[in-house]
Amino acid sequence: MMKILTARSVRNYMMALCLLGCGTLLTSCGGGGAAVLLSGVGSGGTGVVQGLVLGFGSVFIDGNEYATTTATIEQDDSQGVPQNALLKLGQRVQASLDSTGTSVITATIIPSLSGPVTQAATQDATGDWWARVCGQWIRIVSNATHTPLGVTTVLAGVPNAGTSLSPQLALGNEVEVHGAWSWDVAHNAYVLVASRVEVFSATPLTSNILIGGVVGALPATNQVMLNASSGGTVLQGTLPTGVIVGQSITAWVNRATWNTWGGSYAPLQAATINAAGLTALAGATSQKAQLSGLVSNYNASTNTATVQGTVVTLPPGTRVGDGDYIKLTGQINADTLSQTTVDQENSVTAAVTPQTIQVLGTTNGVNWSAGGDLSFVLQSTSVTAPNGTFPSCVGLSPQNTVSVTVTGLVPAPGQPVLASLVTCTAVTSPPSDSVSDFHGTILTASGNTLTLRNEDKVLTINWSSTTFVDPALGNVGSAWVGQSVEVMGTLNGTTMTATVIRLNSGGTND
């Protein structure tokens, strides 16, 4: 959902952030630059951003909002072929921006791991959970203050997860994991601090698995060892040009090969091995760029570090440590992000400020005067709003079309966003350049058009080849009729141009 940035809306937006202790977008509540634009990226040319999805307005990447109304959103399938995809909370994405730096041209969703749980989840004394996926360690964060990343892991695909994650992350379950790689002393390895874990199935769904991590060693020609300097998973195959220790990579491995593999000390033949750093994905040099992640290989003498597989040259005077979270803006040159400025930094030695989650949308169907706590879905994100957090919404009926802004946090894996503030403004019709989010029942469907019964009106929904259409709907036709769906897109009167058509789900943030 693209937020319309009038002077009043920016002022209200900044005030809401200040109520949360300033969150992550502003270094102070006294003002400064525009809160929702990425300073320096995109001005005078295309820019690129890699980071975590922390909300939806159109989309918030590391707290900065970008319009996606005309964007192509893609994710590789298990064969490495790009497919239309749906942006979800906690994903790591890379987006190319237009010349203004405010709109996404193309966004690519880039998970780090996708495949079987190879060591079931167990809980440590802090309340966090640990498991292995495709042989690599992941950490499921139970509270945003536990790591400098500043986010609680979003656990998706499993409604009502409860307090134990053992059933969801049992041995053999198929999952996809997003996050940031960080060295962990206790495990003597790089671990993936998870921002999102999506549970797919208890049985394999694809013929390939995705393995990722940090190159810990180069044991032989055409071989890399992942996430450790000894004893890690050794991949064998055609390596990316100039691959070095400390670089982040991903590899597609045939499942049959994986199933017959002899163990971590024997080379595992990979179908493809790809560099996963910012420079490799950007495909060009001399671009403005933003990157976030956890610091590793910090070198005080050269003032350089590695962040998510990309070498970064830090600004003079910057002092960070391994494991710190950092968000940088700079310029891609060769294999280095240089000429950088630090936009945000959380230290392992200081109290962590949780990263604020925001969800904005124009919608209806919520009974704001029902009393007590409210639960609703906005921008495919489950939200719980405690009584008293939505005073401007009380009195609005389900039939009212309402512009809604949610600010909050994910309190624990598998739980909805817990709102600290919800603001509402009733609108007669959404602005033509904003994105609306409506739920309803399909009345008719054929070609690239459907009609939707939504509250007390019927909407005409048109879509195109770039629209994400839920695969569970199957081919358009009579089977669609009667289905309960969520549609998002730009609305003109009673006609919507859809960017998303998906089945209503009982899951949490999936």
| CATH number, domain containing residue 499 | 2.40.50.140
pLDDT of res. 23: 34
Q: Is 173 found in the same domain as 221?
A: yes
Residue 105 lies in a domain: yes
CA 183 to chain centre: 21
Name the CA dihedral angle for 255, 260, 263, 265, rounded to a multiple of 10 degrees: -100
The secondary structure element, H or E, covering residue 297 is strand 287-299
3-state secondary structure 197-252: EEEEECCCCCCEEEEEEEEEECCCCCEEEECCCCCCEEEECCCCCCCCCCCEEEEE
Residues 309 and 248 sit within 8 Å (Cβ to Cβ):
yes
**pTM, full prediction:** 0.89
DSSP letter for 480, please: G
pLDDT of res. 20: 35
Q: Is 247 found in the same domain as 191?
A: yes
Q: Is 164 found in the same domain as 106?
A: no
Q: Is 238 found in the same domain as 132?
A: yes
Residue 352 lies in a domain: no
pLDDT of res. 258: 94
Q: Is 456 found in the same domain as 377?
A: no
User: Which letter, b or e, does each residue of 25-45 get, where b requires 16 or more Cβ atoms within 10 Å of its Cβ?
Assistant: bbeeeeeeebbbbbbbbbeee
Q: Supply the range of the domain harboring residue 396.
A: 357-426
Residues 97 and 103 sit within 8 Å (Cβ to Cβ):
yes
pLDDT, tens only, 240-285: 888 889 999 999 999 999 999 988 779 999 999 998 888 665 555 5
Q: Is 182 found in the same domain as 124?
A: yes
In the chain, the number of structural domains is 4
Residues 60 and 358 sit within 8 Å (Cβ to Cβ):
yes
Residue 13 lies in a domain: no
pLDDT of res. 412: 94
pLDDT of res. 162: 64
pLDDT beneath 70, residues of the chain: 1-46, 159-162, 279-286, 334, 433, 506-507
Residues 64 and 103 sit within 8 Å (Cβ to Cβ):
no
DSSP 421-445: EEEEEE-SS--TTS-EEEEEEEEEE
Residue 8 lies in a domain: no
pLDDT of res. 37: 27
Residue 51 lies in a domain: yes
Cβ of 508: how many Cβ atoms within 10 Å? 23
Q: Which residues pair with 76 in a beta bridge?
A: 82
How many angstroms separate the CA atoms of 83 and 110, rounded? 12
Q: Is 82 found in the same domain as 121?
A: no
| CATH number, domain containing residue 365 | 2.40.50
Q: SS3 of 334, please?
A: coil
How many angstroms separate the CA atoms of 380 and 53, rounded? 13
pLDDT of res. 26: 29
335: its two tokens: 């294999």
- 10 Å CB burial of residue 373 (0-12, 13-18, 19+) is middle
Residue 31 lies in a domain: no
Residue 59 lies in a domain: yes
